[in-house]
Chains A and B, each alone.
Chain A
Amino acid sequence: MSDLILGISAYYHDSAVALVDGDTVVAAAQEERFTRRRHDAAFPAQAVEYCLREAGATLKDVAAVAYYEDPALKFRRVLATYAGAVPFGAASFRDTFPEWIRRKRRAGESVRRELAGLGLGPVPEVLCRRHHESHAASAFFPSPYESAAVLCIDGVGEWATTSLWHGRGDRLDPVAELHFPHSLGMLYSAFTYFCGFKVDSGEYKLMGLAPYGTPRYADVIREKLIDLKADGSFRLDMRYFEYLRGQVMTGRGFEKLFDGPRRLPESALSEREFDLAASVQEVTEEVVLRLARAAQQFTGETRLCLAGGVALNCVANGRTIREEIFEGVWVQPAAGDAGGALGAALAVAMERGATRTHLGTGHDAMSGSLLGPAYRDEEIQAYLDDAGIPYTRLDRDALAARTAVELAQGKVVGWFQDRMEFGPRALGARSILGDPRNPEMQSAMNLKIKFRESFRPFAPAVLDSDVEEYFQLKQESPYMLVVADIADARRLPAADDAGDARGLDRLKVRRSTIPAVTHVDMSARVQTVSEHANPAFHRLLTAFKAETGCPVLVNTSFNVRGEPIVRSPQEAYTCFMRTRIDVLVLGGFLLLKDDQPVWAEDGDWRDEIPLD
């Protein structure tokens, strides 16, 4: 009998599919990369087709389908929410209840029906796992740890918003949980909304904004919004939140506490938003640290695995590591709901007797999270030739050396190699790269290439062997989910004179020898790159170090603001031509902007991409 299990997350945000064979992840991808709709919540038909194609399988070869949450239990929670909120939830009930009746309360059946409609063979049984079990399984089973405490923190699935688990060998046991509406993810999203950013996608912006402010509202949050116990458990005071009643997160309660109405999206940022961001970030870190300590005390383990949307808060992850509560921390790279597809599949696979065969290798089972579609050089060349696109073909070493020279000359490079990343971060397979030593690079990449807000920081990718030379980080961070401070040796004395600069003016101060990836608080969201996980990217970083002495590159996702990361060579070329990227590397082919034919489109392409 087949060991293939197809995991699916769908219908809320970030629909995704993962295909596992025993404990081996064969393929995983988010639907947004195929449909080009960011955070696409639709049934992930194209991702299903891709994952099966990658395995050379049809649904006939799949033993079971695992859906990432329990729709019946979730429906009961939704009913309880409506009942608990009366008489204020009429509009929300009217807008959302029909969808619950039509599809969501029987999501397992919807999945079966959609799969049948693909015509890829008979649909095997569809099993539903709980939302937090899916997160926990995605955090523990692929981790490199034989045993670990597992902590999942997110907005909400069914009832659980925070859960603690104990992973041992092939077992994963639930320990304790906190229930809706008391949710750290919802608290953070409420501030995201109040500061004028989109819920479920703007949380990163709030985190990036926090170092510009001072946490002057943190005490108000502690006194009024959250009752945090010593053991990390907490409740929110729902009198200040609106998300039980309807479609907004906050209302007058927040306005009274935090000096007026919410910031309107895309309006100017003020000192208040900086300080709100700093405040909720400080409280979030406090809660996460207490939860981590509770996880250690409940389980007695020395290692921690993290998943759930809040595990994408890499500043909090960095604090957890720095506090040395655990000897090692591993974060699932697709920590949000996309990763639930993988977790659900692994939970079912392990229940059916799979074993964690990667244990003992010293590596996790995520293959660097490079689990999506790849394009062979023959396919790329056929595309380039058909489209009449000029290029130079180079062998891998020459390509790395030439690209390193271009980067050292200040060029911005679109880097497209091998399999696409699974999860929200670009990790060197679909990345835009730059020289971190260049003080103009951060602003140039934000405004001229990504077309996004100037305050947003960029992340460094660093050779794993050199990480401690540049960052205060004592463990690997292969998935760019840990923030660490710049090493003392790389800091510049001028940074100490920055005390008078406030708000976005702090951006102008050069703080380190790698200013393009040094945030205003002297921190950086680090990605360590190993030869094992990503040989092509490792080769490039090695070549850049040979060229410049610097083993670090700016690494940002290959897309523009509001657009999903590119998947195919065609999408990469389009992004290259629409922006001021200077050089595009597609597999073994190097393309220079100056050599390209004139790019023309009808209308302004930016009108077609919604702002994030």
Chain B
Amino acid sequence: MLGLLLYYLFVVPVGLILRLVRDPLRRRPDPSAESYWITAARS
């Protein structure tokens, strides 16, 4: 129950606001992109 409360009170609002700015997961393909590679940095 506490988990669901936390989800709807915090995660949902934060998630919706985030997605107004940009999709944090980049869920859609981008046909115009030449490549999806991300340059890797040493950890």
What is A's interface to B at a CB cutoff of 8 Å? 70, 80-87, 89-90, 93-95, 97-98, 129-130, 133, 160, 163-165, 173-182, 226-227, 229, 231, 233-239, 244, 294
Contact = CB atoms under 8 A, between A and B. Distances in A.
B25 A81 contact: yes
B7 A80 contact: no
A82 B11 contact: yes
- Max chain A C-beta neighbours (<10 A), residue from B25, B31, B39, B41: B25
Contacts of A244: 25, 27
B40 A164 contact: yes
- Max chain A C-beta neighbours (<10 A), residue from B18, B29, B41: B29
A238 B28 contact: yes
A84 B38 contact: no
B36 to A, nearest CB: 4
A181 B27 contact: yes
Given A84-B15, A84-B24, A237-B29, A163 B3 contact: no
Contacts of A239: 27-28
B43 A133 contact: yes
B43 A130 contact: yes
Nearest to B4: A94
A341 B22 CA distance: 36
A176 B38 contact: yes
A178 B36 contact: yes
Nearest to B11: A82
Given A174-B41, A231-B37, A94 B18 contact: no
- Mostly, the A contact residues are mixed
Contacts of A165: 40
Contacts of A180: 25
Given A176-B38, A229-B36, A83 B27 contact: no
Nearest to A237: B29
A210 B39 CA distance: 34
Contacts of A176: 37-40
A-B complex: 10 closest residue pairs judged by Cβ atoms: A86-B15, A227-B29, A174-B40, A83-B15, A233-B36, A238-B27, A84-B25, A94-B3, A176-B37, A235-B29
Contacts of B42: 173-174
A178 B38 contact: yes
Contact of A84 (B7, B23, B36): B23
A179 B15 contact: no
Contact of A182 (B7, B31, B36, B40): B36
B25 A97 contact: no
Nearest to A97: B3
A83 B11 contact: yes
Given A84-B19, A176-B37, A129 B43 contact: yes
Given A80-B24, A229-B34, A237-B29, A87 B39 contact: no
Nearest to A241: B27
B27 A94 contact: no
A178 B25 CA distance: 12
Given A82-B15, A133-B43, 20 more contacts: A80-B24, A80-B25, A82-B7, A83-B11, A83-B19, A83-B24, A84-B15, A84-B27, A86-B11, A86-B19, A165-B40, A173-B42, A174-B43, A176-B37, A178-B36, A178-B38, A229-B34, A231-B34, A234-B36, A236-B29
A237 B14 CA distance: 23
Contact of A83 (B3, B18, B34, B41): B18
B40 A179 contact: no
A294 B37 CA distance: 10
Contacts of A234: 36
A293 to B, nearest CB: 13
A87 B40 contact: no
A235 B26 contact: yes
A223 B16 CA distance: 29
A163 B40 contact: yes
